[in-house]
Structure formats: structure tokens, C-alpha cells
Structure 1
């Protein structure tokens, strides 16, 4: 680990990052803290129990919640769940804009399924990721207005018929609403009862302000200063969903990297504390075909928008994250599941190699190239250690 640790320590010393926490489990059990979690009003060191913004790392937990309900027979992956999502269900397909900027739409004809929601093939995306959605929200007078519910934030038209293409987006947030509708619980209470408690973890929540013990351990948000290039602590809090009145299943949770890694490890070792073996296996199988798979690989051919390390290769989407489908130029084995969060944190699970891990860092803007080099170094060293510990074959 020395080269990786030296790289992060140098990054802290050079002001590239204020601090970070990394954890790995499986064939390599490792955790390390670097730098500071906050600098003002006074410097406080990063700790193993520092709490980070998960952002899109939340999506994996929402996928687990959905799949648990599928296991219990409450719903099927390919059921039409539109009746449970009235705001999304009534949204048409946005096909363009007229000369007077009037949106041109057509009626959606196909179903909306949980498989569509979990694999980003439902047609709903974020305004920052698509100019047409941005323009539609601008025309509606919605830009700059805090959205306190999933419906307010993402109740805009779809970009294509569900299942006919792929765009990274809001499906997990809507899937969280399905979990609430079917379980009768808030997403926080559902995850606490069915995901966090079974693993004995307590430092994950959608509402850190209601947990003083966690709020006091939050990692400060930092931003990359455009002039100096250094990471500086933000002068004011930056929230993923400011003013939110309900849990956003695609981006709203906070956690320590240690507790989050326990979730990764449960899926990797297949201990059935969260999901049955057959369900976990399905998470790690390709879900996209045809135009959807092609659209994903076109997006990943230029992965600068995505947080993490994504070398050239063939990708798909599982029921929880990006899936390495074919050989890439990296050490990851086909079947590896991984993804990141907008605040420059990331996770991976490689069940073939037997390693999983999480990299925690609160810094904007997203997909910071310097942080992604550290993420790459973290994975590289974990895999190197796993290979070094492999039993030698005797002739």
C-alpha cells in the first residue's frame, strides 16, 4: 500500500485534496484515513468514522431495497409500476422544441418497470446531463427553484420510450418511491430495518441533521479553486437536495465508508443477510441489450462525465451499478460491479477476485481528474495485494 498511501499523502500536502477515507474487504482487509475532514473554524483530522455525502452511491442501497421486495413477492421486476408513480406515469416523451421554443411531445405507450428504473433505461435524466431537459425546465420556470420532493425535482418528460435507450438519470429516485409505496415505510425506515440493521451498521442515514452524533462527524465540502487548482473548504454548505422533505433514493444518503463497505462485502461474499444468492447473482448479470446497451457504451466511450476510473472496454448495467461486461485494460474481472457519487467518491465489488472497496472524499466539481487518479491507485494497490496473497502453485 506504500505507493498509494504516499500518493494520497502527497496530494494532501500539495492541496489536491483536504482528506480521504478508504476501505476494502475480502481478500484484502484495509482501511486508511488521510488529511483533514475540516479546516475551519479549526482543523480536525479525518477519522474512520467521518461521514460523507454518498450522492449516487445511494443508488446501490435503493436497488437492494427493490430486490428485497421482489424476493418477497410484492412486485416483479418487469411489472408496470406506473400506477405507483402517478407523476412519472403521466409524463410524455419529449421529442424536441418548436420554433417558438414550445416543447414537442408524444404520448408514452410502453410500461415503466423496475428493471427500467434500476438500469437507467426508463428515459428520465438530470437537467445537468441533458440540454433538452435543461431547456424544458427553463421554459417551465423551474430552474433555480429548490425541489423538495422527487416529483418536483424529476417530474419532467422522458427522452425516449422506456427500454429503448439509455441515459444516466433519475430512475433510482423513482424506485425509492416504489419502495415506500409497497412497504408502507419511509425509505429511511425501510433501509434501517432491512439493510442497515441486519448488517449491524448505524452510521448511514438520509437525515444527518436529525442525528447529532453523525452531524458532528460530517466531512466538510471542498471545491477545486479555479485559480490555484487547490482544494479549498467551501464557505457555505453544499447539499445534493437542499430543503428535501423526503428521501431521494438516487442521491440522498450519508454514511461512513466503513459502514458502506459492509454492504459491499455482504454482496461480495454472498452471505444472504441482504439478498438471496440467486438475487445477488442477478445483480451482477448484464441487463441491457440492443439500443440500450449501445447507448451506454457510447456514453462510456467518453467517461469524463462519470466519477471513477473507466478504461476502454465493454460495459453493461447490472441491477445495482455499472457492470464490466468484457475485458478492459484494467485489473477488473468481467462481472465487476461499480459506480461513483458526484462528490468524488466511488465503490467497487469484484466477486471473481474477491475484493470490494470504497473511496470517500467530499469535493466538487464532479469527476475531478486528480481525485480519479487516486481512486485508480487505490484499486490498483488493492488488486495487487490480493494477487500477492494468492497461494503459490506447487509443481
Structure 2
């Protein structure tokens, strides 16, 4: 069974009491050179294992195109003796979105579609969309959309589309009934959540989505959505290849990302982490590695939340971004394309109040920092529903990843505060060298 779990209210309807196993204290903590370079980050990630809050945590940090520093604590599962490392496989969930965004930008670079082109040119079913008169209200009280959905809007969550992990009421129920999900979580039923089955293909996913009203007028509001999943279908039509085949041929193979994909091979199950739900001081395994839903081929390759990868693999993607489209002599994107993709693609007229990106910009599938941001300009990246986070800081020349597995990501402050710990380290380093951070 495929299910998508809300980042908010995950435990609504759960009545599990204190069941589950507690972690052993500081299980199998280990360090590498990076731990000495980034002590605040090391203390931060190790603390979750020391406090028995997570099974394993990992940081992967590189500067420029230099070798990656990987350091962490704990194990792949609380019943495992195998330490997490750079080759542990993690569920990326929404860290898939930047990959899909860059795939779309590659097709734009090749002139096969344009940033402000209506997607109805490729998917005619989206030519005459309707919009809810009341967001999250009735799905029959609608009006014609004032403008078309564009490629830019899909990339930046400004197309007016919904998300079953965000919306409420009839539109959420309609998404669930149509199998318009954002990913998969477990074979196990999770109390309090609908038992929805995914649409059987990206083509069907898109056709069903086109029949439902938009939540907002296209181009008016930033609203987290299935836009990057729909982009997967656009990429299929424009490229003439299945979406997963396109990613493998144009990104994963050239970058040497041999452990990245939408499914975990049986031979690699020994490297797969277990996903947990923290509850009442215990960690409840919601997707054990040995019986993970990721061992099966998914019904569709979710461009918004379907990939699994390792810290080393995803760092290859980040290094390509930091190299403005190239790494180790392999060019994926032109420099101008990479820079555009990691720039703010949202116009000032797009309402961001109360959203995940209030006060920030958004590029091709990832958040973009602005001059007014705490870090200043130059940061691009995104996090995943199971606690992972990754970004590049182009101004300072860093590529950064934080990895663990728990849902929802708000249940613990790992994802929220990982970046703060990292910047504490580099600002401290800058002060000690009398340089500006």
C-alpha cells in the first residue's frame, strides 16, 4: 500500500501509546576528519543519537570541488549494528524536487520548451483549468482560470496546484481518491490516514489532475504542490523518454550516481536505512529496510518525492550545481542555465505570506536565499519529508547535506536546525581567520 504522510499532524488519530523500542545510548558513534572541521555540526547531529532520538545521523560537507567530508553517529536502524556512512541509502522525498527542476532546465537549455511556455502545449488537458472560488472549499464552486499554467510556475510552486499533504477538505479528498499523491511511505497501514493508491502512471496522474480545480489562480501565490510531479510528465512528453529513464541517462549515469533511483535493488537492501516515526520517547519503524516499500518498483516515478540516494551520490549532484553545471570535466548544464536555475524565478507579485518560503525566493525546484536572508544571497536547496536536507552556498563555495530518517520532519529539529549548526561552524572559522563570512 502506498501512502503519503502529512508533514503536519502526522500523529492525528494515532493511538499507539508508548509502544516501540528505545534506542541504545550513543550507539556506534563514529567520526571522520570532517567532525574536527565542523564541531558544531558534529555535536548537533551526534546529539540526536546520544539522546536516543534517532537511529543514525550523517553530515556530508564539501568545499568547492574538493573531496567530501562525511561524519556521523549511530546506525542504519535501531536493531542494526551497521554504522551510517556515505554509502547508506536514504529516502530523499522532496530533495527529489531540485533534481527534477534541473532536468526541466536542461530541456529549456536545449530549446525544447521555454520557461514561460504554457504546459498545455505539451499536455492539452490543462488548457482550460478552473479555480476554486474558496481555496480548500467546494470543488464544484469554481471559476475559469484567468491565465495558463506555465513551466516556470510548475518549477516554483506557483501554478495554483494543490498537495494532499497540504490541502484540506474536498480537494484533498479528491486528490486522494484520484491517486494524486506525492510519494510513498510504507506497506503498513498508518492509523488516521486514508489508504490511497497511486495513479498507475504519470500519464494517468496528469490526466486525473487536469480534471480537478486549481486551489489558486496560476502565478498568484506560492503554495507547496504536486507541480514537480506533474513536471515529470511534462519531461516525458518533451523528451520522448520515460521520466526515470531521462534522469538516469542525463544526470545519474554521467554524474556517477550509481545508488540513486526510484527503487532499491535487492542487492542493496543492506545499505538501506529504516524510516521511523518518533512517538512518546520511542521510535516506531514505519518502513523497515528489510521490508521497505522502496524494494518494489513504484507505480510512478515521483518527480516531487520519489528518489532514494546516498550522501556521496547526492553530493555529486550538489557539486555539479556548485560547479555551475559541471563536475570532473563532465558538463550537465551550461553555466548560464545552472545560474538561472538557482536564481529566484518568482516574481514579486507572487504572494509568499505564511508559506515555507516567506521572505525567500524560489528557483527550479528549490528555495533560493535573497540579499535580505540571514545567509545573504547564493544558497539554493531543499529538504525532504523524512528529515533530510541539502543545499549549495554559491557565495561561500560549500555543498552541504544532512541525513537521517524520521517522519514528519517537524517532529524533531534535525532538519530545521541543521543549517544553523553548519553556519555556526563556518562563521566561527571566518572569525578565527579574520575574514568576512
| Residue 78 of structure 2 is aligned to residue 39 of structure 1 | yes
For the structure 1 residues 71 and 135, does the alpha-carbon distance in structure 2 shift closer, same or farther, using more than 3 Å as the test? same
Match in the other structure for 2:168 = 131
Structure 2 residue aligned with 1:289, among 328, 347, 355?
Answer: 347
Structure 2 residue aligned with 1:96, among 119, 123, 134?
Answer: 134
Secondary structure of the 1:52 match is strand
| Residue 318 of structure 2 is aligned to residue 264 of structure 1 | yes
Q: Is the 8 A contact 2:57 2:403 kept in 1?
A: yes
Match in the other structure for 1:309 = none
Q: 1:387: Cα distance to partner?
A: 2.7
In 2, Cα distance between the equivalents of 1:38 and 1:76?
44
- What do residues 356-380 of structure 1 show as CA deviations (whole Å, max 9, x unaligned)? 1111111011223431365135422
Alignment TM-score, normalising by the size of structure 2: 0.76
Query: Which of 383-392 and 85-94 deviates more?
Result: 383-392
- What do residues 83-134 of structure 1 show as CA deviations (whole Å, max 9, x unaligned)? 42345445421223999x6621122342221101001010112122122422
| Residue 358 of structure 2 is aligned to residue 320 of structure 1 | no
Q: Is the 8 A contact 1:324 1:335 kept in 2?
A: yes
Task: Output aligned runs, 1:116-265, within 5 Å.
Answer: 116-132=153-169, 133-137=171-175, 143-148=194-199, 149-150=201-202, 151-152=204-205, 155=209, 156-208=212-264, 211-225=265-279, 227-228=280-281, 230-234=282-286, 244-265=298-319
Q: Is the 8 A contact 2:274 2:287 kept in 1?
A: no
In 1, Cα distance between the equivalents of 2:91 and 2:139?
37
Secondary structure of the 2:345 match is coil
Match in the other structure for 1:81 = 119
Match in the other structure for 1:308 = none
For the structure 1 residues 243 and 114, does the alpha-carbon distance in structure 2 shift closer, same or farther, using more than 3 Å as the test? same
Task: Output aligned runs, 1:300-339, within 5 Å.
Answer: 300=356, 314-328=359-373, 330=374, 332-339=375-382
In 2, Cα distance between the equivalents of 1:359 and 1:10?
14
In 2, Cα distance between the equivalents of 1:269 and 1:46?
27
In 2, Cα distance between the equivalents of 1:197 and 1:388?
40
Number of positions where the alignment pairs a residue of Structure 1 with one of Structure 2 = 372
Q: Is the 8 A contact 1:222 1:232 kept in 2?
A: yes
Q: Is the 8 A contact 2:41 2:418 kept in 1?
A: no
Q: Is the 8 A contact 1:146 1:242 kept in 2?
A: no
In 2, Cα distance between the equivalents of 1:354 and 1:102?
47
For the structure 1 residues 23 and 135, does the alpha-carbon distance in structure 2 shift closer, same or farther, using more than 3 Å as the test? same
Match in the other structure for 1:306 = none
- What do residues 249-308 of structure 1 show as CA deviations (whole Å, max 9, x unaligned)? 11111100111011111111225322111111112322222431xx224314xx7xxxxx
In 2, Cα distance between the equivalents of 1:278 and 1:235?
41
- Which blocks of at least 5 consecutive residues in structure 2 are unaligned? 1-37, 181-193
Q: Is the 8 A contact 1:333 1:350 kept in 2?
A: no
Alignment TM-score, normalising by the size of structure 1: 0.84
For the structure 1 residues 355 and 181, does the alpha-carbon distance in structure 2 shift closer, same or farther, using more than 3 Å as the test? same
| Residue 328 of structure 2 is aligned to residue 277 of structure 1 | no
Query: Which of 365-374 and 189-198 deviates more?
Result: 365-374
Q: Is the 8 A contact 2:98 2:381 kept in 1?
A: no
- Which blocks of at least 5 consecutive residues in structure 1 are unaligned? 304-312
In 2, Cα distance between the equivalents of 1:279 and 1:257?
25
In 2, Cα distance between the equivalents of 1:97 and 1:124?
11
Query: Which of 253-262 and 278-287 deviates more?
Result: 278-287
